[in-house]
């Protein structure tokens, strides 16, 4: 596998795509903060981000998570499900 090189923000198109992605992400997180407490919002946002990055790594770079990583990410998903179903602080 070839090592990934970021280029240190020297390439304008990937930098603009990254900046737009962060802007969109934070916009939607701010919308969620209108109805869900900050701690729960950030936990869900971070968990979803971890899963999406793992999926991109798998699809784009053929990075297959080992058993421990798969179990850990499954626990993150389970945690998000538990928060959404059972937490009285999360909006339903």
pLDDT in tens, 41-90: 888 888 888 899 999 999 998 999 999 999 999 998 898 888 888 887 76
Range of the domain at 56: 36-92
| Residues sharing a CB contact under 8 Å with residue 41, sequence separation 6 or more, in sequence order | 29, 32, 33
Q: Is residue 1 one of the residues assigned to a domain?
A: no
Determine what percent of the chain is predicted with pLDDT higher than 90. 37
d(CA 79, CA 84): 9
Q: Is residue 12 one of the residues assigned to a domain?
A: no
Q: Is residue 23 one of the residues assigned to a domain?
A: no
Q: Is residue 27 one of the residues assigned to a domain?
A: no
Q: Is residue 73 one of the residues assigned to a domain?
A: yes
pLDDT in tens, 20-55: 999 998 999 899 899 888 888 888 888 888 899 999
Mean pLDDT for the chain overall: 86
């Amino acid at each position: 596998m070839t090592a990934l090189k970021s280029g240190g923000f020297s390439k304008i198109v990937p930098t603009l795509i990254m900046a737009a992605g962060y802007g969109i992400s934070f916009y939607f997180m701010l919308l969620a903060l209108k109805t869900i407490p900050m701690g729960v919002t950030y936990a869900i946002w971070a968990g979803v981000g971890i899963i999406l990055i793992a999926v991109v790594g798998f699809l784009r770079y053929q990075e297959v998570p080992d058993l421990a990583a798969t179990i850990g990410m499954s626990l993150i998903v389970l945690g998000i499900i538990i928060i959404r179903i059972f937490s009285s602080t999360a909006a339903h």
